C-alpha cells in the first residue's frame, strides 16, 4: 500500500535515497534531510497513511515504539539532553509530506531550535463547552 508520488513511500521501496537508521516489518527510521537538530530523525509506517487519522492502530503503535528506540539512542549515544517528538497533521499544522510520520528531535543546550509556547489561562465558558464536545464524542 503506497502512493506513487509519495517520497516516503519511495524511501520504503528503496527507490529514493535515505540514511536509514532502523527498519522492521512495519516501520522505517531515517535521518531528516533538513535536520532541525543533530540527529533529527523521522519514523514512518511502511504502509502509506496520509496522517494520524488514517494510520491503522497497529502501525501507529509500531511507529511509537520505533520513535522510543530512536529517542533512546539519541539520549544515550548522541549525548542529547532531551528529545522532542513532533507529529503534524494538515498544512496549517506544518505537515509538508502527507505520509504519517513522527519527528524525533534530539535536544542539546543552545541547539537553536525553538518551540515558543505563548500560554494564557483559558476562558472558563469556552473550556467547558469544548470539554463537553470531547466528552460526548469520546464516550460513544
- Which residues are catalytic, by number? 101
Instruction: Please report which helix (H) or strand (E) contains residue 71, including its range.
Output: helix 57-77
From residue 5, alpha-carbon distances to 9, 37, 69, 125 in Å are 8, 27, 29, 45
Cell 535515505, residue? Answer: 18
CA distance 105 to 36: 7
| CB within 8 Å of 113: residues ≥ 6 apart | 36, 37, 105, 107
Q: Are the C-beta atoms of residues 16 and 22 closer than 8 Å to each other?
A: no
Distance in Å from the first CA to the final CA of the chain: 30
Amino acid at each position: 500500500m503506497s502512493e506513487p508520488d509519495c517520497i516516503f513511500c519511495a524511501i520504503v521501496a528503496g527507490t529514493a535515497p535515505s540514511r536509514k537508521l532502523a527498519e522492521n516489518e512495519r516501520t522505517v527510521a531515517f535521518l531528516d534531510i533538513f535536520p532541525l537538530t543533530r540527529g533529527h530523525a523521522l519514523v514512518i509506517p511502511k504502509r502509506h497513511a496520509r496522517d494520524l487519522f488514517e494510520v491503522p492502530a497497529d502501525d501507529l503503535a509500531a511507529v511509537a515504539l520505533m520513535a522510543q528506540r530512536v529517542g533512546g539512542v539519541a539520549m544515550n549515544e548522541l549525548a542529547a539532553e532531551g528529545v522532542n517528538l513532533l507529529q503534524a497533521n494538515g498544512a496549517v499544522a506544518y505537515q509538508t509530506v502527507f505520509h504519517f510520520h513522527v519527528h524525533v528531535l534530539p535536544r542539546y543546550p543552545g541547539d537553536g531550535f525553538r518551540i515558543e509556547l505563548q500560554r494564557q489561562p483559558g476562558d472558563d465558558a469556552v473550556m467547558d463547552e469544548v470539554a463537553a464536545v470531547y466528552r460526548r464524542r469520546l464516550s460513544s
